[in-house]
Structure 1
Amino acid sequence: MLPTGIHFGTYAGEAKILKTRRAGLWAAALVAGLIALPLASGPYLLGVMTHMFITLMAVYGLYVTVGMAGQINIAQSAFVGIGAFTAAKLSGYGLPVWVIVPAAALVTGAISVLFALPAARVKGFYLALTTLAAQVMFPIVILALPMDWLGGLVGLSVEPVRLGGLTLTTPLHYYYFTLVLAAVLTVAAFNLQRSRFGRSLMAVRDNDVVAEVMGIPVFRTKILAFFAGSLFAGVAGACTAYVLQFVTVSSFTLFASVWYLGMLIVGGAHSALGAVLGVVFITLVQEGLHGVANKVVQAGAATSGGMLFALTSIALGGCILIALIFEPRGLAHRWHVLRTAFQLWPFPRS
């Protein structure tokens, strides 16, 4: 639904992400605000925002695999871990960051194809089990390999990012580093649905039999969906490695994979905007609950504060249940409803 007077003469114009000048101004204001945010924030907020950018990259990958292609994936944390270990290993050879990050994405995508081959033949519950196998095998393989390969139980240290003569060491440096990569992946995620490949993914999601009749190679499309989604996870893993400066298998658990999927459900699985809204909403709730728990601990009630920290996961799980019951299409759908009502006001909707 567009405001009166806004119309398009071509499909390309109608398919644009930012359809009006006002939308472009709002997007520019958002970018300017994110660039200027460090001027009015401390290291804690910069750390939270950096973590949120990395999480958003991983959830974008789930949006491609789950939201666009309809392929259940509960192993995204394992794919993020593959990208992190790849970046950590390559950083030890002195390679530049502009080589390491794409290499981490490609390695992650290539490994995801090994699990996509059987997953492309099954659906539903069996597909979930197939991806779960990837999550379970990830720490087993890392720990089984010789320690001089990927560090085993100890893990791997990561060399800091060097851009020309600048070495990234401060929270401010990593904030801008992850902001740039998140912006690039945001443009890719929002424009993917406009591409031929994106339309193939959505056709397979809606009805793979009809899609095959229309000439879409369903098997290849499902495999490419896992590959494309894992590219995002690989970049997120490389950023995780650089920010933490150390990677271990304990950082990439099934619990993290479930939360990635939960963020996408809360935001809306069928929209890139849903990935953004889900990550922002869950992060705000999580940090808000942690802030309350910290205040309680500082006030002297250590036992109550510890209980609040433990209840954080329960509260976040409740958010997912509420989203599934009352708004199964996610926050993105609610946003579109409110925006349409604003654009049509004061005229009634038919």
Structure 2
Amino acid sequence: MDPSGIFPTSYRTDRRVVRTRWQAIALAVFMGLLLAAPYLASGRIIAVLNMMLISAVIAVGLQICTGYAGQINLGQAAFMGVGAYTASILASKTGMSFLLTIPLAGFAAALFGFLFGLTAARIKGFYLALTTIAAQFLFHFAVLNLPSSWMGGSNGITVPPAELFGFRIVGETSQFYMNLAVATIMIAGAFGIIRSRFGRAFVAVRDDDVAAGIMGINVAATKANAFLIGAFYAGVGGALWAYLIRFVGVDQFTLFNSIFFIAMIIVGGMGSIVGALVGVFVIRVIQEVIATVGPNIADSVSFLGGDIVFAGMNVILGGVIAGSMILEPKGLMHRWNILKSSFRIWPFPY
């Protein structure tokens, strides 16, 4: 619901992302704070922001695939791994610039995701979830069993730093600006996708694929395209991860990570790009608090053992996810939209 006096007169106006002057000002202030963050915050916070930006790219791709198209994807970490390995191999063995390795990593992951997206034309629901889990195990099997000279096997691959015009992007600050630039482009692209005819087709297939097919939408192609786009975003995020960590190993991309990406869009709100970003922020902050508080608790209650303490912390994080699904199944963005609507129509109850 828009503020009083705001009436869209065309579909393009109605679907505009920034609709009012105050929203434009708020967005400009937010971007200004992000650009100034390395000069205002500590190195630890910048490191956390780097993780959030990479997670945001991956979660937004998963939101398009699952939140908008309704295609359950439990293999997003595998697609991320394909992108990370592609960028690592191209950078370490060919010396290719990150300006090329990042998009090529996205295309490699998109191809891998498209293959599994083809199965979505015939299956859905629980069986589709099992198929995407198979992608996770297939990725691990391929990395560990292919010749080690190809993908490093269990030893992983060391990634050279990204370079631009002779400048090496190695510090947290320079990494932050690179991640911010890529994340901004990818998120802006996501808004463009969901506002296009492809986005409308995704929503139609999600709501009722039979009715969508009767209306003339190619359901099989739409489902496959949803996986392709979601995997492309994961591949780009994997490439950013490779350049940030400077080392890629198969144990970095597990089913557990895929579940956390699902949790991000559930907590933030399914079917909302901003909801995916909110979910990334909430989950990453919780993880950072756990990582900070966990060692202190382990020291103070040493008789329990550090493993038990950290297992308890993971239970707390799982409880937050379960509580979100029980108390606010539509996500935090749904509650935020209700609060905005209530404020705009106050003091009237309707």
Structure 1-normalised TM-score?
0.96
Describe the shift of the 1:263–1:303 C-alpha distance in structure 2 as closer, same or farther (beyond 3 A).
Answer: farther
Deviation, structure 1 residue 191: 2.6
Letter in 1 for 2:125: G
Q: Secondary structure at the match of 1:123?
A: coil
Deviation, structure 1 residue 216: 0.4
Q: Distance in 1 between matches of 2:200 and 2:80?
A: 26
Q: Which digits, 9 at most, give the CA deviation of each residue in 1:200-245, with x for residues without a partner?
A: 0100000001101111000011000000111100100000100110
Q: Which digits, 9 at most, give the CA deviation of each residue in 1:9-41, with x for residues without a partner?
A: 211111101110101111111111111111122
- Tell me which moved more, 286-295 or 153-162: 286-295
Q: Distance in 2 between matches of 1:316 and 1:344?
A: 36
Corresponding position of 1:280 = 281
Q: Distance in 1 between matches of 2:107 and 2:128?
A: 23
Q: Distance in 2 between matches of 1:303 and 1:146?
A: 45
Describe the shift of the 1:246–1:303 C-alpha distance in structure 2 as closer, same or farther (beyond 3 A).
Answer: farther
Superposed counterparts of 1:72-83, under 5 Å: 72-83=72-83
Q: Distance in 2 between matches of 1:131 and 1:19?
A: 37
Superposed counterparts of 1:152-171, under 5 Å: 152-171=153-172
Deviation, structure 1 residue 330: 0.3
Q: Distance in 1 between matches of 2:71 and 2:230?
A: 10
Q: Does structure 1 retain, via aligned residues, the 8 Å contact 2:106–2:233?
A: yes
Corresponding position of 1:270 = 271
Letter in 2 for 1:84: A
Q: Secondary structure at the match of 2:154?
A: coil
- Tell me which moved more, 184-193 or 320-329: 184-193
Corresponding position of 2:124 = 123
Deviation, structure 1 residue 296: 3.5
Deviation, structure 1 residue 302: 4.2
Corresponding position of 1:173 = 174
Deviation, structure 1 residue 310: 2.3
- 1:221 equivalent to 2:228? Answer no
Q: Distance in 2 between matches of 1:99 and 1:134?
A: 25
Q: Secondary structure at the match of 1:162?
A: strand
Q: Does structure 2 retain, via aligned residues, the 8 Å contact 1:68–1:201?
A: yes
Letter in 1 for 2:338: V
Q: Secondary structure at the match of 1:153?
A: helix
Q: Does structure 1 retain, via aligned residues, the 8 Å contact 2:202–2:226?
A: yes
Moved over 4 A (4+): 299-305
Letter in 2 for 1:68: Y
Q: Which digits, 9 at most, give the CA deviation of each residue in 1:133-164, with x for residues without a partner?
A: 00011111111111111111111111100011
Corresponding position of 1:37 = 37
Q: Does structure 2 retain, via aligned residues, the 8 Å contact 1:17–1:191?
A: no
Letter in 1 for 2:95: G
Q: Distance in 1 between matches of 2:2 and 2:220?
A: 37
Deviation, structure 1 residue 305: 7.9
Letter in 1 for 2:134: A
Corresponding position of 1:24 = 24
- 1:67 equivalent to 2:67? Answer yes
Q: Distance in 2 between matches of 1:70 and 1:300?
A: 45
Deviation, structure 1 residue 167: 0.3
- Tell me which moved more, 3-12 or 101-110: 3-12
Q: Distance in 2 between matches of 1:32 and 1:342?
A: 27
Q: Distance in 2 between matches of 1:238 and 1:338?
A: 38
Letter in 2 for 1:139: H
Q: Distance in 1 between matches of 2:313 and 2:173?
A: 28
Structure 2-normalised TM-score?
0.96
Q: Give me the CA root mean square deviation.
A: 1.4
- Unaligned runs of 5+ residues in structure 2 are none
Q: Secondary structure at the match of 1:9?
A: coil
Aligned-pair identity in percent equals: 40
Deviation, structure 1 residue 303: 5.0
Corresponding position of 1:5 = 5
Q: Distance in 2 between matches of 1:261 and 1:222?
A: 18
Q: Does structure 2 retain, via aligned residues, the 8 Å contact 1:119–1:131?
A: no
Q: Distance in 2 between matches of 1:303 and 1:329?
A: 41
Deviation, structure 1 residue 324: 1.2
Q: Does structure 2 retain, via aligned residues, the 8 Å contact 1:294–1:305?
A: no
Deviation, structure 1 residue 6: 1.1
Corresponding position of 1:109 = 110
Q: Distance in 2 between matches of 1:288 and 1:25?
A: 31
- 1:237 equivalent to 2:249? Answer no
Letter in 2 for 1:29: V
Corresponding position of 2:319 = 318
Q: Secondary structure at the match of 1:115?
A: helix
Corresponding position of 1:50 = 50
- 1:199 equivalent to 2:196? Answer no
Deviation, structure 1 residue 118: 1.7
Count of residue pairs brought into register by the alignment: 348
Letter in 1 for 2:16: K
- Unaligned runs of 5+ residues in structure 1 are none
Q: Distance in 2 between matches of 1:147 and 1:293?
A: 36
Deviation, structure 1 residue 44: 1.1
